Amino acid sequence: MKQPMQYALHFTVALGICTLTWAVWNESYTLGTFVQGAVLSTIALLITNRYLLKARYQELFRLSPLTAIRYLLTLIVEIFRSGVHAIHVTLSGRINVGVVDLPTSITNPFHGVLVANAITLTPGTVTIDHSHGNFKVIWIECATTDPDEAAEMIKGSFERVFARDTGSIGDSGTKEDQNRPGATE
C-alpha cells in the first residue's frame, strides 16, 4: 500500500512543479492557465513514464531537497565567482582557450548531467561532451594541462555537492570517498 501512495505523492509534486512552470512561462496566473497547465502536465508525465523512460522518473532522477538546495547555492556562487574571473581574464588579455578532459568519479547519470550543465552555466567554460568518467570542456583560461588539477578548478565544487549522496560518486580515492561507509581500501 505504501508504494502506490508514494507514487501518487511523487506524481502530484511533479505535476505541481510542471503546472507552476507552465504558468510562469505563460506569464499568466489565472485559473484557466493553471487548469491548462495541469492537463498538459498530466499528459506529459503519463506519456513520459509509459513510453520514454526505462524506469519511473522518481527512481531515475532522484535528488534530495537538501542536495538540490546545496546545488543551487553552489551554482549561484560559482556563476558570480566565475563571471568576475572571466571579466578579469578578458580585460587583461590572458585568454588562453583550450579543450580539457576532466576525469569524474560521478556514477549517477543524472548527477553527471547536472554537473555538466553547471559547468556550462558558469562563465568561461562550456561542456561539449559528457561520457562515463569524463567531461570534455572548452575553457577560456586553460591554466593547466594536468587533468586532475583542471578538474578541481572547473568542477570540484559541483562534484562535492553530490559526494554526500550514496551511489553518486564512485571510488575516486578522495578523502571523502575513503570515509564513506562501505568504501574499500
**Mean pLDDT of the residues in the chain:** 85
Q: Cα(112)–Cα(108) distance, rounded to whole angstroms?
A: 6
Q: Pinpoint the alpha helices (H) of 27-143.
A: 31-47, 57-60, 65-92, 109-121
Q: Cα(25)–Cα(41) distance, rounded to whole angstroms?
A: 13
**Domain ranges (residues) in the chain:** 2-60, 65-170
User: How confident is the model over 161-181, as a mean pLDDT?
Assistant: 53
- The pLDDT of residue 185 is above 50: no
Confidence of residue 120 (pLDDT cuts 50, 70, 90): very high
Confidence of residue 175 (pLDDT cuts 50, 70, 90): very low
| Residue-wise pLDDT tens digits, 6-53 | 888 888 988 999 999 999 999 999 999 999 999 999 999 999 888 888
